[in-house]
């Protein structure tokens, strides 16, 4: 019983950290790009993502399942959906 409470707390903490990280971005349409092009900027000051303090161009086409970003994080981490 005690182990399940510790595990649940640890899982919730990980979930909470991921949510903070995922919601820390400002997204706007890229006026120079097409229908599926956006500018994304990390909106929180972060020592962890210093390189993320400027806007990145992102292409996100849900219908085709094609997602790319000029920062190449998806490709480098293996989380690319394309």
Q: Break the chain into its structural domains and give their ranges.
A: 25-82
Per-residue pLDDT band for 20 (boundaries 50, 70, 90) equals confident
Q: What is the pLDDT of residue 16?
A: 85
Cα(40)–Cα(71) distance, integer angstroms: 10
64 has pLDDT over 80: yes
1 has pLDDT over 70: no
For 80, which DSSP code? Answer: -
13 has pLDDT over 70: yes
CA dist 23 → 3, 8, 16, 20, 63 (Å): 30, 22, 11, 5, 23
């Amino acid at each position: 019983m005690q182990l399940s409470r510790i595990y649940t707390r640890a899982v919730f903490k990980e979930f909470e950290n991921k949510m903070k990280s995922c919601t820390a971005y400002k997204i706007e349409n890229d006026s120079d790009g097409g229908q599926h092009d956006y500018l994304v900027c990390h909106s929180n000051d972060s020592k962890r993502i210093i390189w993320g303090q400027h806007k990145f161009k992102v292409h996100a086409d849900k219908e085709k399942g094609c997602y790319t970003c000029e920062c190449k994080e998806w490709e480098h981490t293996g989380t690319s959906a394309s």
